Each structure stands twice: as structure tokens, then as C-alpha cells.
Amino acid sequence: MLSLPQQVMPKRVMPKRVLVALCGGIAAYKVCEVVSTLAKAGFEVRALLTKAAQQFVTPLTLATLSRHPAYTDQEFWSERQGRPLHIELGEWANLIVIAPLSANTLAKLSWGAADNLLTNTVLASSAPLLLAPAMNTTMWEQPQVQRNWALLQGDARIHSVGPGSGRLACDAVGAGRMAEPAAILAAVESLLWTGGRRDLAGRRVLISAGSTREHLDPVRFIGNPASGRMGFALAQAARARGAQVSIVHGPANPDLIEVAEQAGIECCAITSAIQMQAALKTRFIDADLTLMAAAVADVRPAHCATTKLPKQELPDSLGLEPVADIVADLGAHKRPDQLLVGFAAQTGEILEPARDKLQRKGLDAIVANAVDQPERGFGTSTNEAIFLNRQGQQQTTGLVSKLELAHQLFDFLLRS
């Protein structure tokens, strides 16, 4: 379906073997959450600490959280039987995460230096590298550091998340803050799915997410329970696969927005359906692929008061007027080289309403999902869906995380 070179698209899930390497920096404490979460989720996790990292987090802490002894330079330089440690680790890992990435290790990576266990392991491995830099703003902005960072960005093996901006441990305010654990974990899940392939590179992906609010007065509105989780998962997956991504979203958890922005996703916040339509219209013309995951209101109050209505003045019946059908409007105006994917959140029977919507609204594909089943639909971290396209192809996902569902959808679109 996507106008990309034809290729065989096998199931992309890789063995969940992740080597998490910590450099020196106060942000090292946040990486404990990353290691713990991965281990609890059933990943095989190994932790590696540089000499400087041990000033902030102990090997015992990481060993306890990973359920496996942590590695340091002491083990690297000690006598051991069998194959060299850096060779074993480099071949074992399906993904190497370096967080926090210090300016010192960044420089070593850019030079190809190998003077400790971490840098030797990187050179002894062909696994994708996920880098999460963290340092003082002035350090991060130094020309030498930016030169080293730019050099690594040109390496197909290198993937990155962050740094973000904000107040740092040194009280500076600016760029250099390590990405939050949630952003790192999302990148890990994506990279283990894709193996580091950027099969949406050069593509512009536009996504709508969350609910809209249609106000009766400044404090009351008609809305729905959509949280935006599915749309933000689509944005993270598309970004991990190399796309330039914009997401137009209704009111959402600030953590979702922060994770998206740290991944380099343009986030446009709106409140009403009219605002969403305007934001999508300006971006749609440049989009190669548009995914309409938002739960947009169908009606709005015919009149909106400018001040809060006293309780006794609330109308006994509420006059309503229809909201413009954003998906149908985009479908009527899309070019042949554009793809438009809709979502059909249903109760009861889900397939026939989805097929009808697919044809009626000029969509290229649609995602049908039930919102009346446990662990599925609005506000959950998991979902189950059926993908349909105009060619009659169909795929069921099973109950998976919303990020995995997003990757399954992109695989479906790429091979259709």
C-alpha cells in the first residue's frame, strides 16, 4: 500500500536481550527504573557500569534490579575462562542502550575508541545502539560535543532519544536533560520490533489522537473517554521507523506529550473538533500517511456561553448541531499518492461498521477495535484490533501493547 520498494516483511519481534550501559552522571539513578521495568516485563537484561557510573549507582543495585550480576571494568580486566567478556556481551545483546551517555563516552564513540568494557563491547557488537545523552547545558552546546553528536547521527546503527530541556541537577535551565524512562522504554520496544530498520525514512506521517471537547460554557463540555494513548503510540512507532511525525491531539496526559517531544515528534494541542480540523487541514497537504486515531465529537452544543451558567439556568434540553466529518473531508481531498487510515471504535459487532466506514469515507485502510471489552479501548495500555484495507486484506492483532499494535499496523500497511 505504501509506495516503498517491495520487500519481504517477516514478523519483526527480536529476542528481548538488552544490554543497558550506564556512564557517569546524576541521571544514572533514572536508569534503575528502566532496568527494573524491562526485567519485570520478561526481558533479559544485563547492566554494565563505567568506572564513573559507579560513583552514582552501585553494581549491586543494578544486579538486583536486572536479576543478573552487573558488569564493570573490574570483570573486564580480570582473568576469566572462556571467551573475552566484551565479545560475549556484544554478541549476546540484540540492543545496547547507553544511558546516561556522558560527553566523555560520546567522544569515544565518535572516535571509535576502545579503552574500557563499554567501548570495547560496542565495537564488538553489530546490535543497534540507543543513546540517551545527559549533561550540563553548556557542555551539551559546546561545538566539539555537537560535532561528535552529529557524526554519530549519520551512522545507521545509531538511534537516540533526547536530550530534553528543563531544570538540571546543577540548577541550569536548558537542553541536556536525559530522556525520561518512559521515552527510553518506548524506544527500546520499538527497536526490538524493527531491529533498527528505518522503513519509513523520508516519509511524513500525520496522526490525530485523543478526544475533543465541545463546550456548553467555559467549564462544561461534551466529550468522551479517549486518552490519546493509541495515537501517541502510533507517533512513537512511526518516529522510530524514521518518519517525520506530527500529532494533533486533544487534552492528554503531559507525560505522553513529553515522551513524544523527546522523540522529536511535533505535538499540536487542540481542544475542539473545529480546532482539530483546522490543524489537520494545514498539515494534511504535506503528509504521505495520515492516521486518524482521534475520537472526534459527532455533535456540539448549538450555543456556547461565554461565562459559566448558573446551575438553575442550565437548559432542560440541550440543542445540538453536527460537527464536520473530518475523516470524510480528508478522504474527499486526498491525492492518489496519499494514504488515509481511519479507526472504528465500536461496541458489539465491529467488522461490518468498519467495512462500511472504509468505503464510505474514502479510506485506504481502517483499524477496527472493540471498546466494550476488558483491557481494550479507551484509556488502557493494551488493545486488540482488526486491520482491513481496500484490497480485502485483513489481519487480527491479538491483545498487545498499544505500541506493538502500532508497529503491527505499519507492517500491515508496508506489505499491503
Active-site residue list: 170
| CB-based contacts of 339-342 (< 8 A; 24+ apart in sequence) | 339/1, 339/2, 339/288, 339/289, 339/290, 339/364, 339/365, 339/413, 340/290, 340/292, 340/364, 341/289, 341/290, 341/291, 341/292, 341/365, 341/366, 341/367, 341/409, 341/413, 342/292, 342/366, 342/367
Q: Is 22:49 a contact under the CB 8 Å cutoff?
A: yes
What are 242's three cell numbers? Answer: 524514521
Which of 59, 63, 53 is CA-nearest to residue 26? 53
Beta pairing partners, 268: 248
Cell of 388: 482491513
Give the whole-angstrom CA distance, residue 343 versus residue 354: 8
d(CA 36, CA 74): 23
Closest C-alpha to 132, from 93, 159, 153 = 159
